Amino acid sequence: MKIILIGFMGSGKTTAANILAKKLGLEAIEVDQLIQERSGRRSISDIFTLDGEEHFRDLETAVLREISNLDNTIVSTGGGIVMKNRNRAFLKKSKVIFLKTSFKVLEKRLRDDNSRPLFKDKIKAKKLFNRRKNIYEKWSDHIVITDKKSAAEVVMNLLKYL
Ligand code: S3P
């Protein structure tokens, strides 16, 4: 079994993946963490600043390809993974669940966050959110709405789809 969590920045993919993996005795994989390790940079922000977003996207696809044949894993992805056609074939090999969070909630959660280069400018982030929201729906098998839910409640909802 491989479950892939998708959704916008701050939707709680990594937290949910870690809790779910622990509950099921599976391995949690965070795509961004592997990207950072492969990049030789200290952070995702550094990759964006020093190498550019396209290099980040290439690493993202390479990591997705690398883990595509692993089984028994819960994968949390970066919010932009659905934007490249080349990534979608990998997503389709697994069960994909969209963690759907309103922009209002995301904005609150990420108020003091400096780790996400694409959320620094709130107006641009909102545009990105609007551009992506239907794409997450299109490329997911299931949707879990996370607004007003604790991480544990989100995980309870995820369990329904396994
Ligand atoms: C991105 C989301 C980030 C990270 C990178 C780009 C995006 O991951 O991959 O900053 O394009 O939405 P999170 O969704 O885990 O914040």
Residues 6+ apart with CB under 8 A from 9: 78, 79, 106, 110, 116, 118, 119, 125
Q: Which residues pair with 96 in a beta bridge?
A: 4
In a mutational test of the pocket of ligand 1, which residue from 44, 107, 131, 146 has the highest number of ligand atoms less than 8 Å from its CB? 44
pTM of model > 0.95: yes
Helix (H) or strand (E) holding 158: helix 151-159
How long, in residues, is the chain? 162
Per-residue confidence band for 13, with pLDDT thresholds at 50, 70 and 90: very high
CB of 32 within 6 A of ligand 1: the answer is yes
Assign 162 a pLDDT band (cuts: 50, 70, 90).
Answer: very high
Query: What average pLDDT does range 121-147 have in this prediction?
Result: 97
pLDDT at 1 over 90: no
